[in-house]
Chains A and B, each alone.
Chain A
Amino acid sequence: MSDLIRVGGLEIDQDLGYQRLEWRIERLAWVLGALVLLAAAAGLFGSGPLSSTEATAGPLRVAYERFLRYGATHRLRLSVDTGDRDLLRIQIPSEYVSRMRVERVFPEPRRVVVRGDWVRCDFVVVPRSRAEIVFDLEPARRGLARGAVRVAGEPAVRFSQFVYP
């Protein structure tokens, strides 16, 4: 209990100085709250213009989210110019895969091969077309995740994602 004062006949622990401070902090917090919501709408916490982005290297284009939330599924969308290939070998670092739970890969790879630090998924594709492949992933760890994807023998697309708790 704070100190009691008397207001007329009323014994009460009212404290006007503190009350005014509280109101001021309250108003400030509302502004902060509104800013957080605006930032969320812009995608600071995932899925929005601040978060969704693309990166390209060689025949591969990867669309990904910069900001992820722990336990919430996100999508990695690959678009590959198949060239002369009829078997597309997509490689992802094992380190990245270990940070994510793979919910679904579509289309399903013909086989998955683990080789050194990379996991390779082989897809049957039509030559001279664009192959679209999606990975639905769920972050299993919080913090910064460094990812990479490459078509075997080509330069890798590297990206960083931040996973909110």
Chain B
Amino acid sequence: METVLRACAVYFALLVVLRLSGKRSLAQITTFDFVLILIIGETTQQALIGDDHSITTALLLILTLVGVDLLLSMLQLRLPRLDRWLDGTPLVILEEGRLLRDRMRQSRVDEGEILMAARERHGLQRLDEIQYAVLERSGGISIIPKRSGSPDPGGDDAR
């Protein structure tokens, strides 16, 4: 029982903290974001398992975490409001080649990051080649190129 409660407590605590840190915090933009995820994982593991290294506990933990996750995703489908609170909503940060500065500032996104996404996915070179840039719920930026500017809107990228 202790294990199950621990897992639930840690799950919800992490959910709240990561959600409140904003979309961009763990979007794996830089190498350090990756390191941060590793460290958080390591720290969480200690709190979850403690001194108990039994397989029973490990399985119980996994079952609890997967269970909570499943339950939440089912609830999210039923309750759009909960869905918004848990995962947020996408946000247009560039419209018709025009940067929406206020939204970018609030979400901590800069032009460089939009251009990076544009280069990576579509091989675009300038902001005015972008029709829309959207900050997704995952924290990633998706780019919709202008039809006339880019011959390949399909996104076979030039990585």
Contact = CB atoms under 8 A, between A and B. Distances in A.
A25 B50 contact: no
A25 B144 CA distance: 30
Nearest to A22: B88
Nearest to A1: B80
Given A8-B132, A25-B20, A14 B91 contact: yes
Contact of B144 (A3, A10, A30): A10
A15 B88 CA distance: 9
Interface in B86-129: 88-92, 95-96, 103, 106-107
Contact of A14 (B50, B89, B144): B89
Contacts of B107: 23
A33 B83 CA distance: 24
Given A1-B80, A2-B80, A14 B106 contact: no
Main secondary structure of the interface of A (DSSP, over half): mixed
Interface size class of B (residues with CB under 8 A): 20 to 34
Main secondary structure of the interface of B (DSSP, over half): mixed
Interface string A8-41: 1110111100110011011001100100000000
Interface string B9-51: 1000000000011100000000000000000000000000011
Interface of B: 9, 20-22, 50-51, 80, 83-84, 88-92, 95-96, 103, 106-107, 131-132, 134, 144
Interface of A: 1-3, 7-10, 12-15, 18-19, 22-23, 25-26, 29-30, 33, 71, 165
23 contacts: A1-B80, A1-B83, A2-B84, A2-B89, A7-B92, A7-B95, A7-B132, A8-B95, A8-B96, A9-B131, A10-B132, A10-B134, A10-B144, A12-B134, A15-B89, A18-B89, A19-B89, A19-B91, A23-B106, A26-B20, A30-B20, A71-B50, A71-B51
